[in-house]
């Protein structure tokens, strides 16, 4: 299993990424604004039930590959870094505007849960992100890859629920103003891009 230092680094990197709003946060915030905090929290549960599917897929699909080949591990590592660089550059180069707030109809708690689940499970970018991010913190030298991937994925989900739950709780008072402001959206894009590029630079210096 990953050592304590690796786990702390993973948690720090995860929180840095989670605290920057993405599509799932926008979905949760919009639900919170439309139907209140409880609706946002139900959406959080749905989104991260979907995250568990991606964690399982990443664990089963990539752990065998990484365990079988040091070269494969290196390829996955740098593919993940390249993906983070691409995400960062896209955010920094993105032009402001165009992100209109979406008015959502009122739905039942059950439907909101499943909407959050489907939104996350069917997002290919989420799947690619887990495949790119989790392997960066595994080490075949200390044991099987699969349990390490699973542990890291579960940590991500726990931290994600805490982070997104906070957004849901604050959304009713803060989100509407941010979503209506082009300046605020542009600042969030710049912050997101810098986080992605910084993480990519840090991972480049880590051992393969």
* % of the chain surpassing 90 pLDDT: 13
pLDDT at 72: 65
Residue 155 CB partners (closer than 8 Å, separation 6+): 7, 10, 11, 14
pLDDT at 99: 45
Burial label for 66, CB within 10 Å (0-12, 13-18, 19+), is: buried
Q: Given pLDDT bands bounded at 50, 70 and 90, which one contains residue 76?
A: low
Residue 59 CB partners (closer than 8 Å, separation 6+): 134, 146, 149, 150, 153
DSSP secondary structure letter of residue 19: T
Which tokens is 43 given? 């959406």
Whether the pLDDT of residue 175 is over 60: the answer is: no
CA–CA separation, 198 and 88 (whole Å): 9
Render pLDDT for 51-64 as a digit per residue (tens, 0 to 9). 998 898 888 876 55
List the domain boundaries for the chain.
Answer: 23-204
pLDDT at 152: 92
pLDDT at 31: 75
Of 80-94, 162-176, 193-207, least confident by mean pLDDT is: 193-207
Which tokens is 73 given? 């591990």
Contact status, residue 55 vs residue 191, Cβ threshold 8 Å? no
Helix and strand numbers (H, E) in the chain are 8, 0
Q: Given pLDDT bands bounded at 50, 70 and 90, which one contains residue 134?
A: confident
- In which region does residue 104 sit, left (phi positive, over 0), alpha (psi from -120 to 50) or beta (all else)? beta
Residue 161 CB partners (closer than 8 Å, separation 6+): 44, 45, 48
Q: Given pLDDT bands bounded at 50, 70 and 90, which one contains residue 68?
A: low
Of 27-31, 85-89, 155-159, 166-170, least confident by mean pLDDT is: 27-31
Nearest-CA neighbor of 164 among 20, 36, 55, 12? 20
């Amino acid at each position: 299993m990953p050592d304590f230092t690796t786990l702390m680094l993973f948690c720090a990197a995860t929180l840095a990424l989670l605290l920057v709003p993405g599509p799932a946060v926008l979905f949760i915030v919009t639900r919170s604004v439309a139907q209140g905090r409880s609706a946002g929290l139900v959406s959080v549960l749905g989104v991260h039930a979907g995250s568990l599917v991606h964690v399982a897929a990443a664990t089963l699909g990539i752990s065998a590959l990484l365990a079988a080949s040091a070269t494969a591990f290196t390829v996955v590592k740098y593919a993940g870094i390249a993906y983070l660089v691409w995400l960062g550059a896209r955010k920094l180069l993105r032009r402001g505007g165009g992100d209109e707030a979406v008015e959502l109809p009122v739905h039942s708690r059950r439907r909101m849960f499943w909407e959050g689940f489907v939104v996350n499970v069917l997002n290919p970018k989420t799947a690619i992100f887990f495949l790119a991010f989790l392997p960066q913190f595994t080490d075949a030298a200390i044991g099987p890859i699969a349990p390490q991937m699973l542990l890291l994925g579960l940590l991500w989900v726990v931290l994600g629920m805490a982070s997104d739950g906070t957004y849901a709780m604050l959304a009713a008072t803060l989100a509407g103003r941010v979503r209506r402001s082009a300046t605020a959206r542009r600042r969030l894009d710049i912050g997101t891009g810098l986080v992605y590029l910084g993480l990519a630079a840090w991972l480049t210096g880590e051992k393969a």
